[in-house]
Structure 1
């Protein structure tokens, strides 16, 4: 397993080991000891999966506020996404900054998004399947969203906002400035 920082505190790109032969491949997509060896100490309690039929499907920016904040370990089973993590920790020197990463079945990479970050992605291929682990259970009471196209954050999405397919919930999300972060 290869783990490298993406420049924001606690956000990592992970490349699980992949062993290929004439039959195909085998990979441990999650290995707790591998993360511990990289200094990442979190435990996951729930697996989630999404399927998006169209290119440009936007999901995010989502987070759960404390005490139900979540780490997310995100990977693509089929297709390709542009994945984003936004630092929403008030008082952090990188508050409001974001990092983006293309994740795909071909690259076989993952992103680890820690607590204190909003997370979202847009699909870059049709029929994309995304799977992710979370460190706390879903809580409707603690679930929050931030507008994916908030100019204060300024995410440079590879697909323009007018071409994105956005849920009503995500389209009406508040700006970072107006969000209930704590």
Structure 2
């Protein structure tokens, strides 16, 4: 059994009655391998579109595409607003159609359609919030680990530097001692002659 995928797109379209105003329209889609369902709302009104397997097959044939490619293209354009693409609704005799040419029926239960879209958005918001919290905690943990590693590297470098300095001091003292012994020997030799 195929598992559905879901998306919700917020389109900002010019209001048909007042073109200077922008009207948000939400399109919640449920995608299957061979068909899809749309729930659409602008808040006061709601529409639904149930694209059957047969309708998708016909549309894919009209576009000379395999059904899977047609569904993928539809999901891309109705899952995320694509730059440069034109989205609009037009009245089509008691029906409203998406310019992409799918006829949408007025929702038989607008309250349920709006509620379904709102529930989807709230669930998505909760999932995103939880993901932000998880990633923030992960980032903080990584930050602490990085700071600890940096501290260990610095301590190790300081120890190496200190050991190197001590070794150099010992070498200097040893060479001074050896030179001092050599000078004493020369002085003794000189005294005996």
Tell me the TM-score normalized by structure 1: 0.24
Tell me the TM-score normalized by structure 2: 0.23
More strand by share: 1
More helix by share: 2
Higher relative contact order (CA 8 A, sep 6+): 1
